[in-house]
């Protein structure tokens, strides 16, 4: 069947609302984060990821992104989530065709070459991920921007895995355990937070967004592995990001 959405001219973000009306709502993501005007807020519990290592991690090129699905129990809590643990379901990336763009969130109107999304769900409240994904307090996504710099050894395991799934709709199982914990800042995470949505159709308004102030560094060579993936219709899988939307009646909090 023809894809009902994508990132191309005829099926891209500007027309998603036609098939997915929630995309036209006023709690949509991503947004620009204005670091100077957002309010500082101190939550009673620090934001902490409780991640371990994932054996036999499965990665997929699904034609929209490179995604790793997680079987182990890894959680995040604190910050706006308070004491409710949200469980890591999967992680994926968004990236551009060159280093000047690719991230979904922008900081002070600046784009970064890629953005990692660690997708968590409120597993103590909802029976399954799909139900959580449609509920107002169902998901929390930790976004980490990638900036060009030193090659990152943790990302290298993923870049190597990307080479195994260059073909659209292919899968691979990593033979070395993947160190999830080293993707996220050690100890407590400094972050921006706001209420938002999935950045892909159906764009449910179900996400408590956490955007890390600390970025991951990634070399230009490493970014070339992302851009070598093949998307739907045999074209390179690049520019799989949704541009920023209006904050409408929301504010972003800055939390250290």
Chain positions contacting ligand 1SD, by CB under 6 A? 65, 90, 92, 117, 119, 133, 141, 198-200
Chain residues 2-41 in contact with Zn ion, contact rule CB under 5 A? none
Tell me which residue of 67, 241, 242, 251 sits closest to 165, measured CA to CA: 67
Nearer to ligand 1SD, 145 or 198 (CB): 198
Q: Which residue is nearest to ligand 1SD (CB)?
A: 200
- 133's contact among ligand 1SD, Zn ion, none, with CB below 5 to 8 A by partner kind, is ligand 1SD
Nearer to ligand 1SD, 170 or 219 (CB): 170
SS3 233: helix
Stretch that binds Zn ion, among 44-52, 110-118, 188-196, 233-241 (CB under 5 A): 110-118
Residues facing 211 on adjacent strands: 143, 192
Nearer to ligand 1SD, 134 or 219 (CB): 134
- 120's contact among ligand 1SD, Zn ion, none, with CB below 5 to 8 A by partner kind, is none
- 119's contact among Zn ion, ligand 1SD, none, with CB below 5 to 8 A by partner kind, is ligand 1SD
Least spacing, CB of residue 150 vs ligand 1SD, in Å: 26
Distance CA 95, CA 239 (A): 6
Residues facing 172 on adjacent strands: 59
Phi, psi of 17 (to 5 degrees): -60, -25
Cα within 13 Å of Cα(23), Cβ side: 19
Least spacing, CB of residue 54 vs Zn ion, in Å: 19
Nearer to Zn ion, 225 or 242 (CB): 242
Nearer to ligand 1SD, 219 or 239 (CB): 239
Number of other residues whose CB lies within 10 A of the CB of residue 39: 9
Stretch that binds Zn ion, among 38-46, 68-76, 111-119, 152-160 (CB under 5 A): 111-119
Stretch that binds Zn ion, among 5-13, 23-31, 34-42, 116-124 (CB under 5 A): 116-124
Least spacing, CB of residue 148 vs ligand 1SD, in Å: 22
Indicate left, alpha or beta for 164 from its phi (over 0: left) and psi (-120 to 50: alpha): alpha
Q: Does 117 bind Zn ion (CB under 5 A)?
A: yes
Residues 6+ apart with CB under 8 A from 43: 78, 79, 80, 82, 255
Distance CA 210, CA 254 (A): 10
Give me the helix-helix angle, 153-164 and 220-227, nearest 10°: 30
Structural element, H or E, at residue 224: helix 220-227
Number of residues that bind Zn ion (CB under 5 A): 1
- 118's contact among Zn ion, ligand 1SD, none, with CB below 5 to 8 A by partner kind, is none
Structural element, H or E, at residue 91: strand 86-95
Nearer to ligand 1SD, 14 or 176 (CB): 14
DSSP letter at 82 equals T
- Chain residues binding Zn ion by CB under 5 A are 117
């Amino acid at each position: 069947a023809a894809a009902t959405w994508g990132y191309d001219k005829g099926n891209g973000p500007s027309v998603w609302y036609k098939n997915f009306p929630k995309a036209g709502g006023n709690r949509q993501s991503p947004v620009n984060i204005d670091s100077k005007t957002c309010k500082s807020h101190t939550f009673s519990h620090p934001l902490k990821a409780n991640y371990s290592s994932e054996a036999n991690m499965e990665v997929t090129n699904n034609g929209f992104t490179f995604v790793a699905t997680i079987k182990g129990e890894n959680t995040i809590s604190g910050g706006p989530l308070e004491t409710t643990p949200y469980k890591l379901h999967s992680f994926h990336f968004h990236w551009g065709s060159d280093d000047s763009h690719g991230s979904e969130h922008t900081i002070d109107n600046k784009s970064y070459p890629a953005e990692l999304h660690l997708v968590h769900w409120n597993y103590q409240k909802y029976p399954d991920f799909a139900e959580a994904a449609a509920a107002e307090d169902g998901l929390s996504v930790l976004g980490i921007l990638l900036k060009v710099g030193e090659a990152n050894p943790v990302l290298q395991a993923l870049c190597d895995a990307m080479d195994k799934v260059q073909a659209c709709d292919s899968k691979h199982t990593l033979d070395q355990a993947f160190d999830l914990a080293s993707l996220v800042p050690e100890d407590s995470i400094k972050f921006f937070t706001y209420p938002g949505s999935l950045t892909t159709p159906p764009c449910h308004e179900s996400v408590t967004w956490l955007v890390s102030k600390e970025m991951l560094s990634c070399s230009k060579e490493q970014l070339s592995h992302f851009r070598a993936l093949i998307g739907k219709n045999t074209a390179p899988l690049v520019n799989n990001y949704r541009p920023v939307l209006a904050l409408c009646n929301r504010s972003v909090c800055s939390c250290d």
